[in-house]
A and B are shown apart, each in its own frame.
Chain A
Amino acid sequence: MNKMVRIFMWVLSLILILALVGCAPKQTEVVTIHVLTMDQAGLKSAEIDQIARDFEAQNPDIKVVMEYVGYDYVHDKIVLGMAANPPAYDAAMVDVIWPDEFIKASYLLDVTNRVTPDMKSGMFPASWNGITRNGKVYGMPWLMDVKYFMYNTEILQKAGIKAPPTTWEELVDQANTIKQKDLAEFPISWSWNQKEGVVCDFTVLLFGNGGSFLDASGKPAFNDEKGVQALTWMKQTIDDGLTNPSSIASDEMAVEADFLAGKSAFAVNWLFQYSDSNDATKSQIAGKVAFAPMPVFAAGASAGIKGASVDGSSAFAIMATTPYADQTWKFLSYLASNEVQIKYSAEMLPVWQTDFEGEALNTLLASNPNNSVTVPAFLGQFPYANERPTVPYYNEASAALQLAIQEALTGVKTPQAALDEAAAKWIELAGK
């Protein structure tokens, strides 16, 4: 082929290629957002994945990649993720105890101006409290959770117990009866391993005895007489063979496993345990579980304490350095929307207080068989949810308290000595 023909062929090819490229449909830019959450309480991962797919169907320019880890790993993954720029996650679940630390670290985006009046007035005020500091909002409410007291109705019936306990002292009496009748080797299960779960349970008992974490001047008060009594009671139930000794190494999933296997008669756990307990594919006690108001100590009841539990709510926060704040907020708004929360209310009750009033309440109750039980339980227990201290150094403070409780439960130190050491650590941390 001569040179002119070759040149002509090259030029023709180039024109054809350019023409084809010009005719190609224009690609819309799809933004991918990464969201981190726990695969424990609240909705199951398969449900959240479905919500993400439904969102993507309505928003084809946004792709959502969810990542699920156990609760105990979320905090560290957020810290690691924020070391990158852009961050590894555009949004993450933030537990009620983390906002102060993360706000101080400038991790969370201020979304005050993105919150609509409907959201503000429609959702429970308590759901905003967890992620609002100095008037600024740092996330979207997601899960309002509290520890519940659940019991196995069949075991109580067989033991001849007519009603669940209203005080922890009554619980001990009932547990003894159940044990003596060989209905359960260890009637009570707790999550007392050396993680945040043990502090949650201690919160329930401490406040149920009329105690508190801090006094009016902000100094530690959990090592006073009331705190020591609560911790002593915890140890005593193990020594008396009423609390499963494995509780010292158990988390909430282990408590659920014990309870669903019918090995314990009483269990203190988050709401997720109830729907799992009625799932016959997982539970040997389906249909035999009931809620009761969380007991308090007799001394606490005498002092006017009507109820005591612990707030375990969480929100979704947008990471401050994300380049996709708008798209992420859009997804979080969908996630927390009324329609989505009603649809999946079997696992997690809505954060919308409007769903608990009038006709909306009937809709909520009818949307799932469990709701006729869980809704009254939530309305009865949540008002008594107590907060753990909201301080930036909470993780280190909690670690000191976890160690103290474990040392007391394992007999390494007396409850007083252990709590005194933890209190000293809290004072040291507050002073830094």
Chain B
Amino acid sequence: MPDNSISNPKKRLSLRKQDERIAWLLLAPSLLVIILVTVWPIIYSFILSFFVAPIGINQIRTFVWLQNYIGIFKDPAFWETINRTLYFTVASVTLNLILGLAIAQLIHSHPWGWKFIRFSLIIPWAVPTIVNGAMWRWIYNGDFGALNGALMQFGFIKHYVPWLTLPSLAMPLVILADTWHTMPLIALILQAALAGIPEELDEAAAVDGANAWQRFWKIRLPLLRPALLVALIIRTVEAFRVFDIVYIITSGGPASSTITMTFLTYLYSFPYGKQGTGAALSFIISVVIMLLALVYIRLLYRPEEN
């Protein structure tokens, strides 16, 4: 019997179109849910950002065009918050990458117990962020905290220190708590990428006289670039949007020294009841994150390496 699908192009297209139609039909319910739950709220928030929208039932919403955005940009507190958030992001991502890479390299070298190390990385990552925040708040507690206890035991301090009351230290401590929780993901991504690099490249370089640092810098790191890009983008987005760990450990204090962009968005949207301003802030966050992602892609993405 002749193969109609090859000899009859019209029938081949029709079958393909039928497949596409069936595919769209099967995808339609999921797409509908995604549009309703994700796309529509984003569009609605964007529209809301051009209104003065107080919380409440049947409240009058006044169209103010860009006034919400202008008001935000004119507020010195906004710029302080952006600085703080960038500080958190840069510090957290840098620590994540350095520690994550170091641990990935450690696991990759297969020391004794490397499987246990890799398994135990899951634990900090698996702890819910709220639980993580509550745990670290107790560790940092000025009267009963484990940090004070340990430092006193080793003789580093003579008196307990109220860590979370010091504006200069509160943010670094939150960054540390966040790094403990998020670094394992980076370590695992990079370790998986390291495992994919052929050993022969390393061996050949060693034969040619390259030392360990040269092999790492010239061979492994360039080949890790795609994984690094993924890790950077994931962590940067998460770090810039940080909220829950700040909410639990410091609630933005002391003296607002740990208020980040998302926390500010939360304050305007709920305690202050100004949903238009909250929506505008959330879009500013989105734009900044997109710009950061574009910068990374520009700097790190090399299609030919893929």
Contacts and interface: CB of A to CB of B under 8 A. Distances in A.
Interface of A: 72, 75-76, 79-80, 82, 101, 104-107, 193-195, 244-249, 254, 257-258, 263, 320-321, 393, 395-396, 399, 403, 406-407, 409-410, 412
A79 B274 CA distance: 12
Interface string B163-182: 01111000000000000000
Contact of A396 (B56, B142, B251, B272): B272
B256 interface: yes
B268 to A, nearest CB: 9
A410 B167 CA distance: 7
A304 B296 CA distance: 67
Contacts of B165: 245-249, 410
A249 B272 CA distance: 22
A106 B57 contact: yes
B262 interface: no
A105 B251 contact: no
Contact of B142 (A79, A245, A406, A412): A245
A179 to B, nearest CB: 13
Contacts of A106: 56-59
Interface in B41-74: 54-59
Give the interface centre of B57, B59, B143, B164 by most chain A CB atoms within 10 Å. B143
B57 A320 contact: yes
Nearest to A321: B57
Contacts of A80: 270
A412 B141 CA distance: 22
Contact of A246 (B54, B162, B252): B162
18 contacts: A76-B271, A101-B273, A104-B54, A105-B55, A105-B59, A194-B250, A195-B251, A195-B253, A245-B162, A248-B253, A248-B254, A249-B250, A320-B57, A399-B267, A407-B255, A410-B255, A412-B167, A412-B255
B265 to A, nearest CB: 13
A399 B272 contact: yes
Nearest to B59: A105
A246 B142 contact: yes
Nearest to A396: B272
Given A79-B273, A248-B165, A104 B250 contact: no
Given A403-B255, A410-B254, A246 B143 contact: yes
A104 B255 CA distance: 30
Given A75-B271, A246-B142, A263-B143, A194 B251 contact: yes
Interface in B114-147: 141-144
A72 B270 CA distance: 12
Contacts, number: 93
Contact of A406 (B254, B271, B272, B273): B254
A193 B59 CA distance: 33
A101 B271 CA distance: 10
Give the interface centre of A72, A101, A258 by most chain B CB atoms within 10 Å. A101
Given A246-B162, A248-B165, A105 B271 contact: no
Contact of B56 (A76, A105, A406): A105
A80 to B, nearest CB: 7
Contacts of A412: 167, 255
Nearest to A245: B162
B5 to A, nearest CB: 47
Interface in B252-284: 252-256, 267, 270-273
B57 A79 contact: no
B250 to A, nearest CB: 7
A177 B56 CA distance: 53
Given A105-B59, A105-B273, A106-B56, 11 more contacts: A72-B251, A76-B270, A79-B270, A82-B55, A106-B58, A194-B252, A195-B253, A246-B165, A249-B165, A399-B271, A409-B255
A247 B271 CA distance: 23
B273 A249 contact: no
A406 B270 contact: no
A194 B259 CA distance: 11
Given A72-B251, A193-B251, A248 B162 contact: yes
A107 B56 contact: yes
Contacts of B55: 79, 82, 105
Interface string B228-263: 000000000000000000000011111110000000
A419 to B, nearest CB: 14
A410 B270 contact: no
Contacts of A263: 143
Contact of A395 (B142, B256, B272): B272
Given A194-B253, A403-B256, A406-B255, A395 B164 contact: no
Nearest to A249: B164
A403 B267 CA distance: 13
Nearest to A186: B143
A257 B142 CA distance: 12
A258 B57 CA distance: 43
A248 B55 CA distance: 31
Contact of B253 (A72, A101, A107, A249): A249
A360 to B, nearest CB: 40
Nearest to A398: B271
Contacts of B273: 79, 101, 105, 395
Nearest to B159: A185
Nearest to A241: B159
A166 B23 CA distance: 80
A395 B253 CA distance: 16
A195 B253 CA distance: 9
A80 B266 CA distance: 12
Nearest to A413: B255
B143 A410 contact: no
A194 B54 CA distance: 24
B55 to A, nearest CB: 5
B56 A249 contact: no
Contacts of A407: 255
B191 to A, nearest CB: 37
Contacts of B142: 244-246, 249
A249 B254 contact: yes
A115 B55 CA distance: 28
Contacts of A396: 271-272
A248 B141 CA distance: 12
A256 to B, nearest CB: 12
Contact of A82 (B57, B144, B166, B256): B57
